[in-house]
Amino acid sequence: MKPTTVQLFATCIVETLRPEAGMAVVEVLERLGLAIEYPEGQTCCGQPAFNGGLWDDARAMARHTLDVLCRDVPPERLYEPAPIVVPSGSCADMIVHHYPELFADDPKYGPLAKDVASRTFEFSQFIVEAPGITDLGAHAEGKVVYHPSCHLLRGLGVDEAPRKLLSRVQGLEVVDLPGATECCGFGGLFALKMSDISGAMLNRKLDNVESSGAQCVVGCDVSCLLHIGGGLHRRGAKIETKHLAELLTNDER
Amino acid sequence: MKPDRDSMLERIRKSLQSAYLPAAREAIPPRPWPTLQPALGLGALADSFTREAAALGVTVHRPESEAQATEAVLAVLRESGGNEILAWADSDLAVRGLGEAIRAAGFTRLDPTVPRDPAPHREKLAELGRAVVGVTGALGGLADTGTLALLTGPTRSRMASVLPPIHIALLPLSRIYSTMAAFFTLQSHLVGSGSNLVFITGPSRTADIELTLTIGVHGPKAIHIVLIP
Amino acid sequence: MSDTAFNKRVELALSDSSLHIALERVTSRFTTLRHNGFASLPHADEVRDRARLIRAHTLSRLDSYLAQFANSVEAAGGRVHWAADTAAANGVVVELAKERGAKTVVKGKSMVSEETHLNRALEAAGITVVESDLGEYIIQLAGETPSHIIAPAIHKTKEQVGQLLHEKLGIPLTDDPAQMTAAARAKLREVFLTADMGVSGVNFGVAQTGTICLVENEGNGRLTTSAPRIHVALMGIERLVPTLDDLSIMLQVLARSATGQKLSVYTNLITGPRRREEPDGPGDLHIVLVDNGRSRILGTRLAEILYCVRCGACLNACPVYQQIGGHAYGSVYPGPVGAVLTPALEGIDPWSELPQASSLCGACREVCPVRIDIPRMLLELRDESHRAGLTPLWLKVGLPIYRFVATRPALFKLASTLARWVTRPLASQGWLTRLPPPLSGWTDHRDFPALAARPFSDQLRDKHRKGAKTQSYTKTSS
């Protein structure tokens, strides 16, 4: 059955650093006729602590997130929980794959984690899988490349969906990104802990972006885009970065 | 020493009580795809074998008779520019009259038996190192990779196929298997009957310097396979 | 990055431009070769699944398969030694060499022998050791350690190798790999034919028949295990498969994964020593089963790393390895496999940085022929590292603070408002070019955007107030 309502988990990075990506996601979902619930009190999925090996702290943030996503389900939705849409491959992967592991032995949060994991989708994955849409009637100008974020690509196995959505945007020229599937070097706290290695990996990605001739790098993970965008800006390159949703809204931005 | 063995096995047993081994199953199930492919005829197997071996720089000879096979071998021997060779016994070479023809052509077959005492051992190896060509039979061939399977025996030395820079192998067409798995299915009982079963796939090579390929390192530089009809 | 030994090695590697070229070459070439190798394998996915299954099953019954293997080896006339650790393993080899009055040992490639530092032990006993694999021979001459599991000398340019051979072997200076190979061949041939003992590794042991399988391309493995009068093979206890049929599956993925070849040039199956009637081969075969921590790892959540077949594909796929090379890891096993295996074998302290040197991109897991989940184990090691108290102070303090804030939405809101007020004035045209430590690592290499003027949740609320469809789900009173 096609969903009519979705829950939106915006992610801490969209909330603080790239709200326009979140607004674009909301607009696209509304245009598809979906009602969006934004569970108040959402903050962070806990991935930074998890990746850092501080699993108790990660669990605390995960419990908070599960509480936020699972409370106050209205009676009419009790048997049809809404899909959770996340505008980030890595956060979605955290919830889908690591939440059940973190609470494997927890009698309360174990079942919650499994439930939430089973209905969490990354934005592009959701659009193509659930309503089954690939053409949103979007149009935009310019030459872009698509950067497939690692957790989205290899963690969730999502690659066709964003590419399909992008290819249907009228007027847009999508060119090949050399070494597209190579990690950009963000890796969360890795960018700070191993900053020189991260910087070297970033350079390689930036060289590839510049050689592609694209004017904009499109991705589904704002975290990668911040890292790539920050590097492009440092280089003085006039290349933008955009979340996929921003190209699907037809807004003049 | 028994105590070392027992204590190691005991440590392993203990660890297995808490081992996290994803994908481990009670038993390995039978293979879902067939190992033996009886539908492939000798012709198809020979063609595949030839194609794969040739792609590796092996020279594959396809004589139509034993006489032609003999001539092919002699031609390579003559071109080698040397006189001393290492060869398996006549009966291992699968071509009647080949052994005789080699002797008649004036090539010296070095005695391959390496003594077990240190000084004579070294002397013999130095002598064997002079051979320019090694001539062997083959227990089998693998069609999917162009591979030779050679098994040691009383008249089948290891050195013949590794020391000389040129190796000629005589392989009857009927001994070409589709894959290694097929070979093992039919011949695994032979594996322990000799100390060394070697699968040879092409001439020796290395790319250890800047990944630049060089053919001919410690093993033979040139391989000739004569397929016996 | 702070001033640790690891970081210093990384620094050195990142600033080495000829290493950069060499790494680019090896990782891109091997990646292409591997890809083509698997493209030509029928049922490639099923074969990999089966290979994984074989490794998992074998380890789950390792005690009985090892016992079966040892019995089969002995039935074929070989001797088995059970070495609990490095000292025991080296001890067996040195004792055997001394017993036989061996003065020279020729060696085929063996990662286990690197692990136990066998060469040092033999040399300390007055025995000359010569590495016969060309890459190992080169680094032995250079007094270095291998930088890649498959191509040990790949960090060296051909000019560097030419210079080295000129100095150490006295051959004329050249940069032609063919000439260098010929010179090495001539020198090593003499060694093969006069060495008293051959020492090799083992790619796989076969429990059913007591066979050891060694794969190689140069022929040095064949000569090392055929010419000398005694052959000693070092084998990690996890390198076992139950039957010959299982071996054939492993061989289908090993060479393809490592170099893209369908099979290595020589796949040697050795079952026992030279038979009485055979004309050549070593009269004695000794197999040293090396534990050195493997049995302990087997009982942990890191046991999956024992599935590894040492193909090196994870190194070639790893974007971190591609930047820093093998030596930066400072360990016998570099790359993704080394980042798990090294702390697993030797303890998380002093190897805690290795599991941190990863963006968890998953490329290693994708290419592993037996689908080992290396990222999972890197995360396990990071957890272990934290519990061992090895987390750097700023994270040990900072992450719990972040957690405190992120589990209290009002506080989170306040904190992000404060962060916005503080950083926005410091930004120039929306970007911060310098962040203070410990965040300075970011701005060493890229700019950081100023926090957005209005956070997403505020913008969404504004939109909602204007009568949009979206509903904010507020907590009902309880």
Residue ranges per structural domain of chain C: 41-292, 310-387, 397-477
Give, for all 478 residues of chain C, the pLDDT tens digit.
Answer: 778 999 999 999 999 999 999 999 999 999 999 999 999 999 999 999 999 999 999 999 999 999 999 999 999 999 999 999 999 999 999 999 999 999 999 999 999 999 999 999 999 999 999 999 999 999 999 999 999 999 999 999 999 999 999 999 999 999 999 999 999 999 999 999 999 999 999 999 999 999 999 999 999 999 999 999 999 999 999 999 999 999 999 999 999 999 999 999 999 999 999 999 999 999 999 999 999 999 999 999 999 999 999 999 999 999 999 999 999 999 999 999 999 999 999 999 999 999 999 999 999 999 999 999 999 999 999 999 999 999 999 999 999 999 999 999 999 999 999 999 988 888 988 999 999 888 999 999 999 999 999 999 999 999 877 765 555 443 332 2
Nearest residue of chain B to residue C304 (CA atoms): B21
Separation in Å, CA of B59 to nearest CA in chain C? 15
Q: A191 touching C, CB under 8 A? A: yes
Tell me the β-bridge partners of C288.
Answer: C81, C234
Q: Residue A159, CB half-sphere, CA atoms under 13 Å: how many?
A: 11
Domain B40-228 indexed as CATH 3.40.50.800: no
Cβ–Cβ below 8 Å for A71 and C11: no
Quote the tokens at residue C275. Answer: 């038979």
Question: Could you tell me if C276 and C261 are in contact, meaning their C-beta atoms sit under 8 angstroms apart?
Answer: no
Question: Could you tell me whether strands B59-61 and B222-228 are parallel, antiparallel, or unpaired per DSSP bridges?
Answer: parallel
Distance separating alpha carbons of residues A43 and C410, to the nearest angstrom: 10
Separation in Å, CA of C346 to nearest CA in chain A? 19
Q: Where in chain B are the domains?
A: 40-228
Cβ–Cβ below 8 Å for B204 and C217: yes
Distance separating alpha carbons of residues C221 and C200, to the nearest angstrom: 7
Contact: chain A with chain B (3+ CB pairs below 8 Å): no
Q: Is the peptide bond before C282 cis (omega within 30 degrees of 0)?
A: no
Question: Could you tell me if A10 and A42 are in contact, meaning their C-beta atoms sit under 8 angstroms apart?
Answer: yes
Measured in residues, chain C has a length of 478
Distance of alpha carbon B149 from the chain centroid: 4
Question: Could you tell me if C92 and C288 are in contact, meaning their C-beta atoms sit under 8 angstroms apart?
Answer: yes
Residue A70 burial by CB count (10 A; 0-12/13-18/19+): exposed, middle or buried?
middle
Residue range B159-190, pLDDT digits in tens: 999 999 999 999 999 999 999 999 999 999 99
Task: Provide the pLDDT for residue A4.
Answer: 84
Cβ–Cβ below 8 Å for B20 and C157: no
- For residue A77, give every residue at least 6 positions away whose Cβ sits within 8 Å of its Cβ, in sequence order, or none: A5
Question: Could you tell me if C416 and A201 are in contact, meaning their C-beta atoms sit under 8 angstroms apart?
Answer: no
Give alpha helix (H) positions in C407-466: 409-423, 440-445, 456-465
C269 vs B contacts (CB less than 8 Å):
191, 196-199
* pLDDT category of residue B104 using cuts at 50, 70 and 90: very high
The conformation of residue B49, written as its DSSP 8-state character, comes to: H
B219 vs C contacts (CB less than 8 Å):
218-219, 222-223, 265-266
Tell me the β-bridge partners of A121.
Answer: A85
Segment (H or E) for C135: helix C134-142
Q: B164 touching C, CB under 8 A? A: no
Exposure string of C12-48, with b = 16+ CB inside 10 Å and e = fewer, is ebbebeebbebbeebbebbbebbeebbeebeebeebb
Domain A139-248 indexed as CATH 3.40.50: yes
Exposure string of B24-59, with b = 16+ CB inside 10 Å and e = fewer, is beeebeeeeeebeeeebeeeebbebbbebbeebebe
Question: Could you tell me if C1 and C10 are in contact, meaning their C-beta atoms sit under 8 angstroms apart?
Answer: yes
Mutate to test the interface with A, among C32, C361, C396 (most CBs of A within 10 A): C361
Which residue's structure tokens are 């695994």? Answer: B188
Distance separating alpha carbons of residues A217 and A52, to the nearest angstrom: 28
Task: Provide the pLDDT for residue A138.
Answer: 87
Cβ–Cβ below 8 Å for C299 and B15: yes
Mutate to test the interface with B, among C79, C280, C381 (most CBs of B within 10 A): C280
Distance separating alpha carbons of residues C30 and C37, to the nearest angstrom: 10
Distance separating alpha carbons of residues C101 and C123, to the nearest angstrom: 14
Cβ–Cβ below 8 Å for C445 and A199: yes
Distance separating alpha carbons of residues A222 and A230, to the nearest angstrom: 12
Cβ–Cβ below 8 Å for C138 and B209: yes
Question: Could you tell me if C135 and C157 are in contact, meaning their C-beta atoms sit under 8 angstroms apart?
Answer: no
Q: B5 touching C, CB under 8 A? A: yes
Partner residue opposite C399 with nearest CB, options A57, A71, A181: A57
One DSSP character per residue, chain A reads ---SEEEE---HHHHHT-HHHHHHHHHHHHHTT-EEEEETT----SHHHHHTT-HHHHHHHHHHHHHHHHS---GGGTTSPPPEEES-HHHHHIIIIIHHHHTTT-TTHHHHHHHHHHTEEEHHHHHHHTT-------EEEEEEEE---HIIIIIS---HHHHHHHHTSEEEEE---TTTTS--S-TTTHHHHTHHHHHHHHHHHHHHHHHHT-SEEEES-HHHHHHHHHHHHHHT---EEEEGGGGSS----
Nearest residue of chain C to residue B6 (CA atoms): C82
- For residue A166, give every residue at least 6 positions away whose Cβ sits within 8 Å of its Cβ, in sequence order, or none: A144, A146, A172, A174, A218, A244, A247
One DSSP character per residue, A180-246 reads TTS--S-TTTHHHHTHHHHHHHHHHHHHHHHHHT-SEEEES-HHHHHHHHHHHHHHT---EEEEGGG
One DSSP character per residue, C137-185 reads HHHHHHT---SSSS-TTTTS-HHHHHHHHHHHH-PPP---HHHHHHHHH
Q: B189 touching C, CB under 8 A? A: no
Cβ–Cβ below 8 Å for C245 and B184: yes
Its CATH class, for the domain covering C41-292, is: alpha beta
Average pLDDT over residues A222-226: 97
Exposure string of C425-449, with b = 16+ CB inside 10 Å and e = fewer, is eeeeeebbeebeebbebbbebbbbb
Q: Which chains touch A (3 or more CB pairs under 8 A)?
A: C
Cβ–Cβ below 8 Å for A51 and C379: yes
Cα C64–Cα C68–Cα C71 angle in degrees, nearest 5: 140
Task: Provide the pLDDT for residue C466.
Answer: 74
Contact: chain C with chain B (3+ CB pairs below 8 Å): yes
**Between C134-142 and C158-169, two packed helices, what is the crossing angle to 10 degrees?**
70
Q: Where are the beta strands (DSSP E) in C357-466?
A: 431-432, 448-449
Q: Within 10 Å of residue A59's Cβ, how many Cβ atoms?
A: 20
Partner residue opposite B214 with nearest CB, options C161, C177, C189: C177
Residue range B47-101, pLDDT digits in tens: 999 999 999 999 999 999 999 999 999 999 999 999 999 999 999 999 999 999 9
Q: Where are the beta strands (DSSP E) in C266-377?
A: 266-270, 284-290
Three-state DSSP at C277 gives coil
Q: Which of residues 266-325 of C touch B (CB under 8 A)?
A: 266-275, 277-281, 283, 285, 289, 291, 295-301, 303-304
Q: Residue C221, CB half-sphere, CA atoms under 13 Å: how many?
A: 28
- For residue C448, give every residue at least 6 positions away whose Cβ sits within 8 Å of its Cβ, in sequence order, or none: A226, A230, C431, C432, C435, C439, C442
Partner residue opposite C471 with nearest CB, options A37, A182, A200: A37
Of residues B206, B203, B212, the one with CA closest to residue C175: B212
Three-state DSSP at B224 gives strand
Whether the model pTM is above 0.90: yes
pLDDT at residue A253 greater than cutoff 50: no
Which residue's structure tokens are 């957890």? Answer: C383
Q: C174 touching B, CB under 8 A? A: no
Mutate to test the interface with C, among B121, B195, B214 (most CBs of C within 10 A): B195
Partner residue opposite B197 with nearest CB, options C53, C249, C269: C269
Task: Provide the pLDDT for residue A1.
Answer: 56
Cβ–Cβ below 8 Å for C10 and A53: no
Mutate to test the interface with C, among B35, B148, B217 (most CBs of C within 10 A): B217
Distance separating alpha carbons of residues C308 and C53, to the nearest angstrom: 12
Distance separating alpha carbons of residues A74 and A225, to the nearest angstrom: 36
Q: Is the ipTM of this complex over 0.90?
A: yes
Q: Which of residues 93-132 of C touch B (CB under 8 A)?
A: 132
Residue range A40-88, pLDDT digits in tens: 999 999 999 999 999 999 999 999 999 999 986 777 776 777 899 999 9
Separation in Å, CA of A131 to nearest CA in chain C? 18
A40 vs C contacts (CB less than 8 Å):
409, 457, 472-475
Q: A220 touching C, CB under 8 A? A: no
Q: Where in chain A are the domains?
A: 5-129, 139-248
Nearest residue of chain C to residue B114 (CA atoms): C280
